[in-house]
Amino acid sequence: MTRRLPVDPIAEAKRQWLAHGWDDAADGMTVVTSVIRAHQLLMASIDRALRPFDLSFSRFEMLRLLAFTREGRMPMASAIAASSRASRIPPTDARRCSPSPRTVGEGWTRRPAP
């Protein structure tokens, strides 16, 4: 359930830009702020859906990538590259490394014997 805010943050941001002399940028910034706010609302909804499974979005992404493969496995370099292309989050060193070991540690996936 989404809680109603007492003030529309998008309208308030536009009002502030106009009040501070940013007339030329106000419309564009309103669009950008609207997109960012929509993203926040969608991600909150996704996080709520994944919470009962104790999954982050990064781990969920990794599991889905594995599920889409023929054999349920892929080289780590391929998983990182595919996850980076499909992700809602720009890749960072921590994000590239953490989803797979964590999914193994939590029992969602396993590493084959060498």
Written as one string, the DSSP assignment of 79-94 is: HHHHHHHH-SS---HH
Q: How many CA atoms lie within 13 A of 27 on its CB side?
A: 1
Query: What is the C-alpha to C-alpha distance for residues 39 and 12, in angstroms, rounded to an integer?
Result: 18
Helices assigned H by DSSP within 1-114: 9-19, 23-50, 57-67, 76-86, 93-97, 99-105
Q: For residue 71, what pLDDT band results from cuts at 50, 70 and 90?
A: confident
Q: What integer pLDDT is reported at residue 61 of this predicted model?
A: 82
Q: For residue 86, what pLDDT band results from cuts at 50, 70 and 90?
A: low
Average pLDDT, the chain: 79
- The answer to whether the pTM exceeds 0.85 is no
**22-67 pLDDT tens trace:** 999 999 999 999 999 899 889 899 999 999 998 888 888 888 888 8
Query: What is the C-alpha to C-alpha distance for residues 73 and 87, in angstroms, rounded to an integer?
Result: 19
Question: Which residue would you say has higher pLDDT here, 98 or 21?
Answer: 21
Residue entry with tokens 């669009």: 31
Question: Which residue would you say has higher pLDDT here, 14 or 107?
Answer: 14
